[in-house]
Amino acid sequence: MPLITPSQVVLDLSAADSHAATRRLAETLVESGRTTDVEAFLDDVRAREEVMATGLPGGIGIPHARSAAITEPSLVFGRATRGIDWGAKDGPATLIFLIAAPEGGGEAHMQVLPKLAKALMDQSFRSALEAATTEAEVVALVEERVSLDEPKQGTPQPVASAAPPAVESSDSTQSSEPTHSSDEGAADEASSGGASATTAGEGSHSLHLVAVTSCPTGIAHTYMAAEALRTAAEEAGHTITVETQGSAGSTPLSRSEIQRADAVIFAHDLEVKDKGRFAGLPTVDVGVKKGVSDAPELVERAVTLAGQWAADPQRAAAAAAATDLADGTGDEDPEVSTATRVRQWLMTGVSYMIPFVAAGGILIALSFMLAQIAMGEKGAIEITQYSLTAEGDLNIANSFSPLSLTSWAALFFVIGGAAFGFLVPILSGYIAYAIADRPGLVPGIVSGWIASTMGAGFLGGLATGFIAGFVARWVAGWKVHAGVRGVMPVVVIPLLSTLITAGLFITALGRPITWLMDSLTAGLEGMGGGSALLLGALLGGMMGFDLGGPVNKVAYTFGTTGLTVAGTATDAIQLKIMAAVMAGGMVAPLALALATTVRPRLFSEPERENGRAAWLLGASFISEGAIPFAAADPVRVMASSVVGSAITGALVMAGGVTLRAPHGGVWVLPLMGNFLMFVVALAVGVVVMAAIVIALKTMGSRAAQPEGDPQRVAA
């Protein structure tokens, strides 16, 4: 069955937004019998769009998904003369390809993607699509450039790079030579290809580059970036081999390909698999979209770096000693600000810490619940006497009885307390890891344990994490003798970075940070009345401000890291802060779900569909469920969200609700102290926000009515 038919071409695509346009294109698949459930397919496409917008520079949109509702690999083309916003920075899309791939049809759609990527990089192909006057003409243009290969018997033979073979194209795309599956074959190619490379470009020095591309779903941007890099390298007179880490997996570049490479380009939104393979190579590291939009610039940067490294061999030696350490020897994306990098480093530490918080907090909460059942009102206090080092029956390792509820409560408490003991070391260790990769783990974790032992809490963990990361990164960048390089990662870097970081903290930084932490804790514990309400309102408002963005993350980090101070206490102020943070983060998606239910005509069809999903997302404390609404109408949604979330946060603090779990939403209600007040506070905030959203949208709708567009997005 052909990929595209005349019925799958819409030459006069007109829609209010990308969601409506996608629906119009997807409906053609119903007519051609290629989908069993168009709504399920649209849900899959929408889920992909929420990960990352699929608009590309040059007026292109490529919505796509692999879906169980698709029966045949299919392309649908739409041409929007007026353009439709598809998330690209340079403006709306006029040429839209909807890619529909069967969930289990990996090989087929992996053939399509590299070919479509290559075609869309060709201005003549885009111009021909813009000039086409009939559906049949579009089909002919597409089939000429993009088609499925017939299944071949026996061992597949290499083919030209313009039409990659079914298996090879899923793994690597090259500029002028086929990828070999073995190191020996690649070595042969290196001996001959390397010689030819030096004569390419009319006598100019030609380099051999390698690259890795990946995007969140590995369906389109991965291959678009690969093709853009291939074309850019070829036009610059260089060769390139690209490893596409796509949705169907990837076959890594061979060792010999990497060894003969002059530089590497990472255009990725996912972590590069086995990044250490490229140690010692000058590196350009950017997001996958820059691989699509700025490929010539990336190739130029890689060539410049290769020249600099060739002139200074010690740079390669230092990078090789640090394995895959991000020590500044690469060429990092200049568009990423220092503030953004600091936030990324911090959030890496927090993300690794949260599972320890969840495990420890929930176990301790369950322990207190069981202890109160087994031992009465003071059970939650008495159970804290149990440990692995206590004498007599209080040593749970010696006295555990499967038939005793008290024993189970003590077991949960001891295990939960052990998990809590790792919070600061893990926070510190993985901040250092984010900065310096693996060399940062040892100094970060060891120094974090020291900070915790000295009572410096999460502030100490933050300090040791950043210090350990930068010290390890600095030591790893030393230019050392070749005989020392082998022991740098396993001996020298961890030894010196741990000694410097831990020694500095113990002798100079530990006591003032501990004093600061004690002062902060005392200040929080002394809060009451208006000050507690104000703190709750502030944290709730921050959670509702940007719905998963930097401000939201600051409030959430404050709540979760505060749990490290609360420890095993039963009524610490930090537990109330965590409850206020969670409640504030649940308001926006629940309120918008309510608003779309009460006044559906104020919202577009995609928003109403998002509203149905937002019930579950909000109940599960996933603030991002409100992002589609905020993106479409930021002023009204964010303003109402801040108000509703602030009210909820203040009420939770006033009601003395406590929470140990860092996540979970309504699913951890039984673990809360005074959970009924939590429900009341949440309901009040949801109703208030929904009412404000409805009022603001109603006024906006009336104001826009004379222009004939009641759904006009607020400026």
User: What is the model's pLDDT at position 163?
Assistant: 33
State phi, psi for 360 to the nearest 5 degrees. Answer: -65, -45
Q: Which one-letter amino acid corresponds to residue 696? A: L
| Whether 215 is catalytic | yes
The strand pairing partners of 264, in sequence order, are: 210, 283
Q: Which one-letter amino acid corresponds to residue 330? A: G
Catalytic residue among 19, 64, 221, 238: 64
Tokens matching residue 399: 């006295």
Tokens matching residue 306: 């290769």
Q: Is 66 left (phi over 0), alpha (psi -120 to 50) or beta?
A: beta
Is residue 96 within 8 Å of 25, Cβ to Cβ? Answer: yes
User: What is the model's pLDDT at position 703?
Assistant: 59
Burial (0-12, 13-18, 19+ Cβ within 10 Å), 146: buried
Q: What is the spatial distance between Cα 238 and Cα 211, in angstroms, rounded to a whole number?
A: 13
User: What is the model's pLDDT at position 515?
Assistant: 92
State phi, psi for 90 to the nearest 5 degrees. Answer: -90, 5
**CB atoms near residue 478 (< 10 Å):** 18
Strands (DSSP E) contained in 355-442 are none
CA-CA-CA-CA torsion sign (236, 241, 245, 247)? positive
Q: What is the spatial distance between Cα 254 and Cα 179, in angstroms, rounded to a whole number?
A: 9
String of DSSP letters for 613-633: HHHHHHHTT-GGGGHHHHHHS
CA-CA-CA-CA torsion sign (623, 368, 458, 648)? positive
What is the distance, to the nearest Å, from the Cα of residue 606 to the centroid of all Cα atoms in its chain? 23
Q: Is 203 left (phi over 0), alpha (psi -120 to 50) or beta?
A: left
- Of 487, 489, 534, the residue nearest 653 (C-alpha): 534
Burial (0-12, 13-18, 19+ Cβ within 10 Å), 349: buried
Q: What is the spatial distance between Cα 34 and Cα 39, in angstroms, rounded to a whole number?
A: 13
Return the SS3 of 230.
Answer: helix
Q: What is the spatial distance between Cα 136 and Cα 208, in angstroms, rounded to a whole number?
A: 41
User: What is the model's pLDDT at position 394?
Assistant: 92
DSSP 486: T
Q: What is the spatial distance between Cα 220 and Cα 225, in angstroms, rounded to a whole number?
A: 9
- Of 664, 156, 132, 654, the residue nearest 361 (C-alpha): 664
Q: Is 369 left (phi over 0), alpha (psi -120 to 50) or beta?
A: alpha
Q: What is the spatial distance between Cα 295 and Cα 58, in angstroms, rounded to a whole number?
A: 14
Tokens matching residue 656: 């003395």
User: What is the model's pLDDT at position 10?
Assistant: 93
User: What is the model's pLDDT at position 409?
Assistant: 92
Q: Is the pTM of this model over 0.75?
A: no
The count of residues in the chain is: 715
DSSP 490: I
The strand pairing partners of 214, in sequence order, are: 268
**CB atoms near residue 400 (< 10 Å):** 15
Is residue 114 within 8 Å of 46, Cβ to Cβ? Answer: no
What is the distance, to the nearest Å, from the Cα of residue 198 to the centroid of all Cα atoms in its chain? 40
Q: Which regions in the chain score pLDDT beneath 70?
A: 1, 51, 104-114, 117-118, 147-204, 215-220, 246-251, 271, 313-337, 482-483, 486, 524-525, 527-529, 548-549, 567-568, 570, 701-715
The helix or strand, by DSSP H or E, that contains position 479, with its residue range, turns out to be none
- Of 353, 327, 349, 316, the residue nearest 472 (C-alpha): 327
Only one residue has tokens 């783990």, namely: 441
Q: Angle between the 550-566 and 457-476 helix axes, to the nearest 10 degrees?
A: 110
String of DSSP letters for 164-222: --TTGGGTEEESSSPPPSSHHHHHHHHHHHHHHHHHTTTTS---EEEEEEE-SSSSSHH
Return the SS3 of 286.
Answer: strand
Catalytic residue among 215, 238, 268, 663: 215
DSSP 121: T
Q: What is the spatial distance between Cα 118 and Cα 466, in angstroms, rounded to a whole number?
A: 43
Q: What is the spatial distance between Cα 442 and Cα 501, in angstroms, rounded to a whole number?
A: 10
Q: Which one-letter amino acid corresponds to residue 569? A: A
Tell me the per-residue pLDDT of 5-40, one tens digit each, with 9 for 90 and over: 999 999 999 888 899 999 999 999 988 888 888 898
